[in-house]
Structure 1
């Protein structure tokens, strides 16, 4: 099976053989890698028409939702927060929905 990838400007996400990797191309030394069973992700939009924040982390409970996990469910921050353009949440939700299917996990 080919790796699943998502590219949006300086953000690159990759899923391959049960592992998730996040690369911020503005900061190539800052990558984040975690098994799919422990991946949690959330886009937090504070205000309309302002950039949102993508949080990618390790969740405490592997049976929790993979996407839209509440931040308090994260074991620790995991990776640096990435700014995402307003309106990109649906694109990221679609991407993480595909990842959730591969991991046998749910999306809220």
Structure 2
């Protein structure tokens, strides 16, 4: 139900995120998770890894996360700079991300 829950909060009711049947109309075999939800959930899980302020986050979306599915978040050590990755089954990379001090 992640797609519908995120739509309620974000206002983004893109059919590819809401149900399998609506996603199929747009060429997806199943509904997919919203990229910004994945980014936000990843950052929430990395709260203790990230600086408290003045941080820039970059992400590159690689492959959609089909719903439902399990993924694994991995990250470099906590610090002012770092990288993270969201992977699914069979090593499929869904998201690559990084953090660094924000430019002033």
- Return the TM-score normalized by structure 2: 0.28
**Relative to total residues, which structure has the larger strand share, 1 or 2?**
1
**Relative to total residues, which structure has the larger helix share, 1 or 2?**
2
Question: Greater CA radius of gyration, 1 or 2?
Answer: 2
